[in-house]
Amino acid sequence: LNNKMHISGQFLPSRLQWVGCQGSLVGLRGYTCSFWKLFHTLTVQAAAQPRALLNTGFEDSPRGFLQIMQKYVQDFFGCRACAEHFQEMSRASLDSVKSWDEAVLWLWEKHNVVNARLAGDLSEDPQFPKVQWPTPALCPACHKATQGPSAWDKVQVLHFLKQHYGSHNLVHTYLEEADNPEEQEAQGGGEAFPKGAAREANHGQDPRKSLGSKSKGLDHVIAKEDSLIDPGKRPAGSVVKQEGNQAVSFLGVGFSN
């Protein structure tokens, strides 16, 4: 990606600053966490807005969409053992994906397999342990009550994932305006984001708190959507938090990789 390329008035910042994927120590989370979040978001958006894929060659190919991710991991993922493990999982089960919803669930299932494999590994952030996600505390309805080991309710899991990685949960707070006249010219002369808002760094604060304080518009959207659902019929009671300052932090409390 050309960092100076004009994309709807927004571009990647020059400095590296993790927000939802900030690790508790240098070298933890960061890129791998962002990689997973990006592809989870893409699978959910493809399922939610299939018309956006018209004339791309992928409009009828949910499996092809995942194969692109598979190819990226194979060629560009730095951890070769991780890449090979992902290839093995893909070869074993990717052919079973027949729909966009199945693509969403396939990636979620494989991410949990990865989390189980790497739990306790040196790459694990002690503040963000690799657990089976979503946890019962985050989505009680996603877990079936059984006598033995807990089982997933995939209908509820799919609903949860579409809420968690939905477009209403994306914020642009940390996109930056161009730093100098040359960058501004490359961006068409305008600011990618109002001055001040995008300039703020974490300064040691919890990134989730930063998101919560700057995204009141998103709070309103989520609260409005949630208010339209009969509480007695809501399929996953903890999918959308009632407290506004927690709702916007979904993408910061997801999978720990």
pLDDT (tens, 9 = 90+) of the chain, 257 residues, equals 454 555 556 555 667 778 889 889 888 898 889 889 999 999 999 898 888 777 777 777 888 879 888 998 988 888 888 889 999 999 999 999 999 999 999 999 999 999 999 898 888 999 999 999 999 999 999 998 876 666 999 999 999 999 999 988 888 787 665 555 454 444 444 443 333 333 333 333 344 443 343 334 334 433 333 433 343 444 444 443 333 333 333 444 555 55
Task: Count Cβ atoms within 10 A of the Cβ of residue 122 and give its class: 0-12 exposed, 13-18 middle, 19 or more buried.
Answer: exposed
Report the alpha-carbon distance of residue 7 to residue 28 in Å, rounded. Answer: 30
Report the alpha-carbon distance of residue 110 to residue 92 in Å, rounded. Answer: 11
Report the alpha-carbon distance of residue 177 to residue 180 in Å, rounded. Answer: 9
**Cβ contact 255:33 at 8 Å:** yes
* Range 29-55 burial, b when 16+ CB lie within 10 A, else e: bbebbebbbebbbbbbbbbeeeeebee
Fold of 30-169: Four Helix Bundle (Hemerythrin (Met), subunit A) (1.20.120)
Task: Count Cβ atoms within 10 A of the Cβ of residue 139 and give its class: 0-12 exposed, 13-18 middle, 19 or more buried.
Answer: buried
Sign of CA dihedral 68, 128, 93, 90: positive
67: its two tokens? 């194969």
Contacts of 255 (CB under 8 A, 6+ apart): 33, 36, 37, 40, 111, 115, 133
Q: State residue 156's pLDDT score.
A: 97
Q: State residue 125's pLDDT score.
A: 92
Q: State residue 160's pLDDT score.
A: 97
Residue type, 145: A
**Cβ contact 176:193 at 8 Å:** yes
Q: Enumerate the β-bridge partners of residue 128.
A: 125
Q: What angle do CA 132, 138, 143 make, to 5 degrees?
A: 60
pTM score, whole prediction: 0.64
Cα pseudo-dihedral 172, 174, 180, 182, rounded to 10: -40
Task: Count Cβ atoms within 10 A of the Cβ of residue 232 and give its class: 0-12 exposed, 13-18 middle, 19 or more buried.
Answer: exposed
Q: Domain extents for the chain?
A: 30-169
